[in-house]
Structure 1
Amino acid sequence: MSVRHWQRFLILSHRYLGIALCLLLCLWFASGFVIIYTGGMPQLSEAERLARLPVLNLGAVELSPQAARAAVRRTEFPTLTTRLGRPASVFTRNPVQVLFADNGELLTSDMISSRQIAADFLGAPPDALDRVGLIERVDQWTLELSSELPLQKYRSGDGQGSEIYVSPSRGRVVLYTTSRDRLLAWLGAIPHWLYFLPLRADRALWSTTVVTLASVGVVFVALGLVLMFTQLRWRHWPKLARAIPYRGLMKWHYMLGVGFGWCVLTWVFSGLLSMEPYSWNRASGIGIDVATYYRSRAGMSAFESVATVADLAVIEGSLKEVKFHAFAGKGFYELSIGGDGSAGAISREFREVASMEPLGLFTDAQILAQLEPAVAANMGATEILTEYDSYYYGRNSRLQMAPPLPVLRVDFDDVAGSRYYLSLQTGELEFVSHRANRTERWLYRGLHSLDFNFLYPYRPAWDVVVWLLLAGGLLLSLLGAYLGLARVGRWLKPR
Structure 2
Amino acid sequence: MLSAIVLLHRWLGFAFALLFAMWFATGMVMHFVPFPSLKEADRFAGLSPIDAKNLIGPADAIKAAGVADVLRVRLVQRSDGPVYIVSGRSAARSVNAIDAKDAAIVSPDAARAVVDRYARNRGMTAPSLSVSLNDYDQWSVPNGFDRYRPLFRVALGNADGDELYVAWNTGEVVLVTNSRERLWNYAGSVLHWIYPTVLRRNWAAWDWVVWTASFLASIAALLGAILGIARLKRRQGHLTTPYRGWHALHHVVGLAAAVFLLTWIVSGWLSMDHGRLFSRGQLTDAEAAVAVTGVDIAGLASSIWPPVSPGAREVEWFAFGGQQFRRDRVALDKRCWFGRA
> TM-score band, normalised by the shorter chain?
0.7 to 0.9
* Cα displacement (A) at 1:332: 4.7
* Match 1:320 to one of 313, 319, 325: 313
Aligned partners of 1:64 and 1:309 also within 8 Å = no
Aligned partners of 1:334 and 1:348 also within 8 Å = no
Cα distance in 1 for partners of 2:288, 2:179 equals 46
* Cα displacement (A) at 1:141: 0.8
Aligned residue number for residue 20 of structure 2: 25
Aligned residue number for residue 281 of structure 1: 278
Q: Per the alignment, do residues 199 and 15 of structure 1 end up closer, same or farther by CA in structure 2, a change over 3 Å counting? A: same
* Cα displacement (A) at 1:183: 2.8
Q: Per the alignment, do residues 293 and 244 of structure 1 end up closer, same or farther by CA in structure 2, a change over 3 Å counting? A: closer
Aligned residue number for residue 158 of structure 2: 158
2:245 maps to 1:248: yes
Cα deviation code 1:99-148 (max 9, x no counterpart): 22233332144477112112222228999322252213x21111113443
Residues 358-373 of structure 1: pairs in structure 2 closer than 5 A: none
Q: Per the alignment, do residues 125 and 175 of structure 1 end up closer, same or farther by CA in structure 2, a change over 3 Å counting? A: closer
* Cα displacement (A) at 1:70: 4.3
Aligned partners of 1:42 and 1:141 also within 8 Å = yes
Secondary structure of the structure 2 residue equivalent to 1:13? helix
Unaligned runs of 5+ in 1: 1-5, 339-345, 355-369, 371-495
Cα distance in 2 for partners of 1:120, 1:334 equals 24
* Cα displacement (A) at 1:253: 2.3
Aligned residue number for residue 262 of structure 2: 265
Cα distance in 2 for partners of 1:101, 1:277 equals 39
Q: Per the alignment, do residues 277 and 219 of structure 1 end up closer, same or farther by CA in structure 2, a change over 3 Å counting? A: farther
Q: Per the alignment, do residues 293 and 177 of structure 1 end up closer, same or farther by CA in structure 2, a change over 3 Å counting? A: closer
Cα distance in 1 for partners of 2:112, 2:283 equals 44
* Cα displacement (A) at 1:223: 1.8
The structure whose Rg is larger is 1
2:92 maps to 1:96: yes
Aligned residue number for residue 430 of structure 1: none
Aligned residue number for residue 69 of structure 1: 62
- RMSD over aligned Cα atoms: 3.5
Cα distance in 2 for partners of 1:73, 1:278 equals 33
Q: Per the alignment, do residues 16 and 108 of structure 1 end up closer, same or farther by CA in structure 2, a change over 3 Å counting? A: closer
2:43 maps to 1:49: yes
Cα distance in 1 for partners of 2:321, 2:223 equals 59
One-letter amino acid of the structure 2 residue matched with residue 252 of structure 1: L
- Identity over aligned pairs, percent: 26
Cα deviation code 1:85-108 (max 9, x no counterpart): 411111022432222223333214
2:113 maps to 1:113: no
Cα distance in 1 for partners of 2:191, 2:57 equals 49
One-letter amino acid of the structure 1 residue matched with residue 127 of structure 2: A
One-letter amino acid of the structure 1 residue matched with residue 110 of structure 2: S
TM normalised by structure 2 equals 0.82
One-letter amino acid of the structure 2 residue matched with residue 230 of structure 1: A
Cα distance in 1 for partners of 2:217, 2:184 equals 26
Q: Per the alignment, do residues 24 and 62 of structure 1 end up closer, same or farther by CA in structure 2, a change over 3 Å counting? A: same
Aligned residue number for residue 130 of structure 2: 131
2:338 maps to 1:337: no
Aligned residue number for residue 208 of structure 1: 208
Cα deviation code 1:441-461 (max 9, x no counterpart): xxxxxxxxxxxxxxxxxxxxx
2:340 maps to 1:350: no
Cα deviation code 1:287-321 (max 9, x no counterpart): 2363798699799558745x7234x22xxxx4210
Secondary structure of the structure 2 residue equivalent to 1:160? coil
Secondary structure of the structure 1 residue equivalent to 2:159? coil
* Cα displacement (A) at 1:196: 2.2
Unaligned runs of 5+ in 2: none
Aligned partners of 1:65 and 1:304 also within 8 Å = no
* Cα displacement (A) at 1:153: 1.7
Cα distance in 2 for partners of 1:150, 1:113 equals 14
